[in-house]
Amino acid sequence: MKNKNNIRFVQGNEACVEGAIYAGIDFFAGYPITPSTEIMEHLATRLPQKGGKFIQMEDEIASMGAIIGASLTGNKVMTATSGPGFSLKQEALGYACMAEIPCVIANVQRGGPSTGNPTHVSQGDVNQARWGTHGDHAIIALTASNHQDVFKITVDAFNMAETYRTPVVLLLDEVIGHMREKLVIPEPGEIPVVERLRTSVKKGIDYHPYLPREDGRLPMSDFGAEHRYNVTGLFHDMWGFPNNNPEVVSELLRHLVDKIENNVHEISMHKEYWMDDAEYILISYGSSARSAIHLARNRRSRGVKLGVLELQTLWPFPTEMVKEKCAGAKAVIVVEMNMGQVVTQVKNAVDNPQTVFLANRIDGQLISPTDIKSLLRMIQGKGV
């Protein structure tokens, strides 16, 4: 029996905060922006209660800088934003990729480009999460369609940030962020929490902050501890010092990409609904997935073999898994609220890209089961 005190009726943004607290967040820096602001508002209250630190910075860029600085002293850190702020953070996000600094960036998506549609839903930042910062790099981006999962993937985001020494993007959306529903806070230990891996190298012995262990992980040393090393956004050697030797450059870039792309099986998370015998598959994520699941439940009751593959890891894209799951399908419909961002990845993954269709909505309104049903019926040759 669950402890009743652990049951809440909250916004998705609060579920994200609860997940962050559960994961052990120590430090948050942010700048107010709709529809993510509740994350920072709640952390302003919650963090000092557990001895953590919260700071409202002068802008989005400074917030990203501050969390990177705080991560280096050994803290679990996070910032939260939405499209325009996410754009501003990109340079520092790339810095965190290059310097391998664990941090979590929540982007509660709204309509874009530019100021766009601040109080309405969109999933238009999927590709920005992947390629927003300049240069080759890899990134982890997670998403969820309900508050229990928002909690879970927030913990996962902190865990992955520590495990892979990388920024992790939480791609929420306005509907998830602002909608209220039930959240049951798991008991301590129910979801594993990954702590900062610190070096065991003793004082006086040469410590290499950028030399991966055999398992690929890079133990860190806190700023202020006995190992003094350099952190830079330039290509660097295993001590963190700038180096543009062609071998060092190519090896580091490969490492930055491989540490994520080679671990797709570990990072990739998804959920399946009625997939066992599905002839038609809806692939969706975030709040769109709620409509996809609703429609599938409805169609199943009428005998249509419709399944849903809900993606929780968008980047690195789970190409192999999607290919395998869609292998026998008559048609695949990608349900998303943008002009077609994940659908491109799905077409790239499956054997028959001509059987992949896009059901989307780009007007700031949540895509409805009816929107998807219209397309499904056309594909089935039943007419709208």
Binding site for other proteins (CB under 8 A): 26-27, 29, 45, 48-49, 51, 53, 55, 57-59, 61-75, 77, 91-92, 95, 222-226, 228-234, 241-242
Question: Which is closer to other proteins, CB of 30 or CB of 369?
Answer: 30
Question: Which is closer to other proteins, CB of 8 or CB of 271?
Answer: 8
Question: Which is closer to other proteins, CB of 220 or CB of 346?
Answer: 220
Phi-psi region of 39 (alpha: psi -120 to 50; beta: other; left: phi over 0): alpha
Question: Which is closer to other proteins, CB of 44 or CB of 264?
Answer: 44
Task: Specify the length of the chain in residues.
Answer: 384
The distance of closest approach from Cβ of residue 89 to other proteins in the complex, given in angstroms and rounded to an integer, is: 11
End-to-end CA distance of the chain: 47
Question: Which is closer to other proteins, CB of 231 or CB of 372?
Answer: 231
The distance of closest approach from Cβ of residue 50 to other proteins in the complex, given in angstroms and rounded to an integer, is: 8
- Cβ–Cβ < 8 Å for 119, 110: yes
The distance of closest approach from Cβ of residue 8 to other proteins in the complex, given in angstroms and rounded to an integer, is: 18
H or E element, residue 298: helix 286-300
The distance of closest approach from Cβ of residue 282 to other proteins in the complex, given in angstroms and rounded to an integer, is: 41
The distance of closest approach from Cβ of residue 81 to other proteins in the complex, given in angstroms and rounded to an integer, is: 15
Q: Count of CB atoms within 10 A of residue 345's CB?
A: 22
The distance of closest approach from Cβ of residue 338 to other proteins in the complex, given in angstroms and rounded to an integer, is: 29
Question: Which is closer to other proteins, CB of 63 or CB of 143?
Answer: 63
Residue type, 58: E
Question: Which is closer to other proteins, CB of 134 or CB of 382?
Answer: 134
The distance of closest approach from Cβ of residue 209 to other proteins in the complex, given in angstroms and rounded to an integer, is: 11
Q: How far is CA 33 from CA 60, 70, 110, 118, 292, in A?
A: 9, 22, 10, 9, 29
- Cβ–Cβ < 8 Å for 39, 13: yes
The set of residues, in sequence order, having a beta carbon less than 8 Å from that of 27 and lying 6+ positions away, is 47, 52, 53, 54, 66, 67, 70, 71, 75, 76, 77, 78
- Cβ–Cβ < 8 Å for 196, 102: yes
Looking at residue 198, the DSSP 8-state letter turns out to be B
